[in-house]
Structure 1
């Protein structure tokens, strides 16, 4: 459990998927510490319910719901533009939202649905709000980006020729690929930020452990229930699963590293595939192409406000 008593007064945090499960627990924690919390998801009813839950538990009125559909590049761009136009600072971005083995199909953007929600959408969102994160970060208090990975990143594969294909991978493999991609993204973005002098932004990845959330039901109501019951004694609660992400935001030493991997509130090592610099760069280039970022747009993401 994260034992930090650090306050977040005056700070602003975005949590994707902040309306249920671990995301909601993170939102409650940040709000209780005094942060302005923006929770993002594609379901307004869930957003309203989450705001009420956070208020009931913390008394905070600084919680905002904003619509974000990570399965739509247009939605990601609209959300990011809204943030850039309405917020004067961004201290924390938690890329938490994700789907399980819900379906193997292409979105209207021509991207594999699981990969787009779990990885490509977060890739684009992070880059589009990066200038605000850069503006906010300070030497002793950098802005922090958290990528919510998974233990299944260990079996993830980055096969660039088939990364975005449908009817090629088992759905559990697509999920695993997306979680490895998030770790590689953190590594590559770290390299690019280091080449930009005066930038105080760190990005780290988190394995929350085996958490008993409703993501199991993406395999089907009956199958999901069976899986949840089989792993009942091994599962963490959403509150427990949220702790490492909270730790990486609060911990001073975690703010001094970037591109690293954390589990059980400790810095550890990811699978060896996550440290292949060549693959990380190739994945970056392919991701830029697939989310349709021009060179000019990409360059703007690294400019100072």
Structure 2
């Protein structure tokens, strides 16, 4: 009975948040990217960069003359690289295999990247899954929490050394983390992060997006405390017409189809704020922001809970076996 109630509450919170976003998008135009400076010599990693918003982010950063490494587990990675290369002559873009549902794969990706000897100026944690049936990662973590959050938590921490070396005062390296308005309805239970007691796909997704916010704020505080030239900002892309919504339940899926083109953002529109966070001159040295539609916005009250941030950080380090963080 409690499992069913938990599912219903998670379902209601998620879809209420979605309705609020759709109402906003109905009456407000999508953020239009300003002219951004060329990024000659800079290198970026974009997770989930083969489709949807990730593809648009990768493509735009390449157009700004940034060297982009697309980290993804999809076989289509090489064809996406070829497509971008054909669109932008003399572009620097490459594909590297990365499965965020496997901590072993994350570690291997970082080892291969470091072996290239490249700097890293921008890390965009974009990849994610939503509302999938109850499944586990390679290490046994609930899939939303493991892929959306823990995979990116480990990836970011393992790349911090390269990010710190690549940045300098006045030209900070940047970490951009993709969250969601669903975090407002998210609940974080440190005693049951894996949803073993009462699983809800809706609740699991919202929890993973709240965890990303808690992580981003705590990471920025740690970086500032040491004077490291790295900024961390979180982006809410709004409701975007991508494959993420393929897992909506039956009635919601039917309702989405006729309205998606009218109310949802396109992948390019959804990607605009992340691109802005990665390259805008006016955001130089500015971190700890939650950006929606190109503007600073307040995230949920619980996301600013510093004790919860610290506790989640400690627990996350233990889960991924990260000894120095």
Pairing 1:93–2:123 present: yes
On the 8 A contact 2:179/2:210 being kept in 1, the answer is yes
| Per-residue Cα deviation, 1:117-155 (whole angstroms, up to 9, x for no partner) | 100000000000000000000111100000000111111
Work out the CA distance in 2 between the residues paired with 1:228 and 1:263: 24
| Per-residue Cα deviation, 1:193-219 (whole angstroms, up to 9, x for no partner) | 12213x100010000011000111133
Instruction: Show the counterpart of 2:59.
Output: 28
Work out the CA distance in 2 between the residues paired with 1:275 and 1:228: 36
Q: How many residues align?
A: 294
Q: Compared with structure 1, are the counterparts of its residues 157 and 143 closer, same or farther at alpha carbon in structure 2 (3 Å cutoff)?
A: same
The Cα shift of 1:231 comes to 4.0
Instruction: Show the counterpart of 2:217.
Output: 187
1:242 counterpart SS class? helix
Pairing 1:278–2:307 present: yes
On the 8 A contact 2:65/2:91 being kept in 1, the answer is no
Q: What is the aligned counterpart of 2:143 among 113, 125, 129?
A: 113
Work out the CA distance in 2 between the residues paired with 1:169 and 1:282: 22
Q: Compared with structure 1, are the counterparts of its residues 87 and 228 closer, same or farther at alpha carbon in structure 2 (3 Å cutoff)?
A: farther
Q: What is the aligned counterpart of 2:40 among 6, 9, 16?
A: 9
Q: Compared with structure 1, are the counterparts of its residues 234 and 93 closer, same or farther at alpha carbon in structure 2 (3 Å cutoff)?
A: same
The Cα shift of 1:224 comes to 4.0
The structure with the largest alpha-carbon Rg is 2
On the 8 A contact 1:31/1:60 being kept in 2, the answer is no
The Cα shift of 1:169 comes to 3.1
Work out the CA distance in 1 between the residues paired with 2:90 and 2:196: 43
In structure 2, runs of 5+ residues without a counterpart are 1-31
Instruction: Show the counterpart of 1:252.
Output: 281
The Cα shift of 1:161 comes to 0.6
Work out the CA distance in 1 between the residues paired with 2:287 and 2:272: 19
On the 8 A contact 1:105/1:166 being kept in 2, the answer is no
Work out the CA distance in 2 between the residues paired with 1:285 and 1:139: 29
| Per-residue Cα deviation, 1:220-241 (whole angstroms, up to 9, x for no partner) | 7996464343444210000000
Work out the CA distance in 2 between the residues paired with 1:78 and 1:57: 30
Instruction: Show the counterpart of 1:302.
Output: none
On the 8 A contact 1:40/1:66 being kept in 2, the answer is yes
2:62 counterpart SS class? helix
Pairing 1:62–2:81 present: no
| Per-residue Cα deviation, 1:135-188 (whole angstroms, up to 9, x for no partner) | 000111100000000111111111101112246232011111111111110100
Instruction: Show the counterpart of 1:40.
Output: 71
On the 8 A contact 2:37/2:281 being kept in 1, the answer is no
Greater shift in the superposed pair: 174-183 or 235-244: 174-183
Please give the TM-score of this superposition, normalised by the length of structure 1: 0.92
The Cα shift of 1:262 comes to 0.4
The Cα shift of 1:60 comes to 4.2
Work out the CA distance in 2 between the residues paired with 1:186 and 1:115: 15
Pairing 1:79–2:105 present: no
State the superposition RMSD in angstroms: 1.7
